[in-house]
Amino acid sequence: MKRLVTSLALAASLTAFSATGVLAADGPSSDDLLKSATNTEAVLTYGMGPQAQRFSPLTDLNADTVKKLVPVWSFSFGGEKQRGQEAQPIIYDGTIYVTGSYSRLYAVDARTGHKKWEYNHRLPDGIMPCCDVVNRGAAIYKDKIYFATLDARLVALNRETGKVVWNKKLQEYKEGYSNTAAPLIIDGKIITGNSGGEFGVIGMVEARDAETGELVWQRPTIEGNMGTLNGKDSTVTGKTNASWPGDMYKTGGGATWLGGTYDPETKTLFFGTGNPAPWNSHLRPGDNLYTSSTLAINPDNGEIKWHYQTTPHDGWDFDGVNEFVSFDLKKDGKVVKAGGKADRNGFFYVIDRTNGKLINASPFVTKITWAKGIDIETGRPIYIDDNRPGAPTEGGGEGKGKSVFAAPAFLGAKNWMPMAYNPQTELFYVPANEWGMDIWNEPITYKKGAAYLGAGFTIKPLYDDYIGALRAVDPKTGKIVWEYKNPAPLWGGVLTTAGNLVFTGTPEGYLKAFDAKSGQEVWKFQTGSGVVGSPVTWKMDGEQYVAVVSGWGGAVPLWGGDVAKLVKDINQGGSLWVFKLPKA
Ligand code: CA
Lowest mean pLDDT among 73-82, 418-427, 571-580: 73-82
* CA–CA separation, 107 and 261 (whole Å): 24
Residue 114: exposure state from Cβ atoms within 10 A (0-12, 13-18, ≥19): exposed
**Residue 119 domain boundaries:** 2-580
Are 240 and 252 a contacting pair, CB within 8 Å?
no
Tens of pLDDT, residues 463-518: 999 999 999 999 999 999 999 999 999 999 999 999 999 999 999 999 999 999 99
Evaluate if residue 13 carries a pLDDT over 90.
Answer: no
Domains in the chain, number: 1
To the question of whether residue 415 is assigned a binding role by annotation, the answer is yes
Ligand 1 center–CA 222 separation, angstroms: 15
Report the separation in Å between the CA atom of 3 and the middle of ligand 1, taken as the mean of its atom positions: 60
- Write down the pLDDT at residue 15: 40
pLDDT of residue 393: 83
Q: Which residues pair with 5 in a beta bridge?
A: none
pLDDT of residue 217 exceeding 90:
yes
Do the annotations mark residue 136 as ligand-binding? yes
Q: Is 188 left (phi over 0), alpha (psi -120 to 50) or beta?
A: left
pLDDT (average), residues 189-201? 96
Cα of 457 from ligand 1 centre, angstroms: 13
Is 416 among the annotated ligand-binding positions?
Answer: yes
- Distance, in Å, from the CA atom of 531 to the CA atom of 88, rounded to the nearest integer, reads 11
Number of C-beta neighbours around residue 5 at 10 A = 9
Among candidate residues 60, 317, 343, 515, the one labeled active-site is 317
pLDDT at 17 over 60: no
Tell me if 223 is assigned to a ligand binding site: no
**CATH label of the domain that carries residue 47:** 2.140.10.10
DSSP characters for 498-547? TTTEEEEE-TTSEEEEEETTT--EEEEEE-SS---S--EEEEETTEEEEE
* Ligand 1 centroid distance, CA of 484 (Å): 27
Residue 566's SS3 state is helix
| pLDDT, greater one: 398 or 65 | 65
Distance CA 164, CA 527 (A): 32
pLDDT tier for residue 19 given thresholds of 50, 70 and 90: very low
pLDDT band for 58, please (50, 70, 90 cuts): very high
Confirm whether residue 310 is marked as ligand binding. no
pLDDT in tens, 277-334: 999 999 999 999 999 999 999 999 999 999 999 999 999 999 999 999 999 999 889 9
pLDDT in tens, 226-261: 999 999 999 999 999 999 999 999 999 999 999 999
Under the banding of pLDDT at 50, 70 and 90, the label for residue 14 is very low
**pLDDT for the residue numbered 471:** 98
Ligand 1 center to 578 CA (angstroms): 33
317 is catalytic: yes
Mean pLDDT over each residue of the chain, to the nearest integer: 94
Confidence (pTM): 0.95
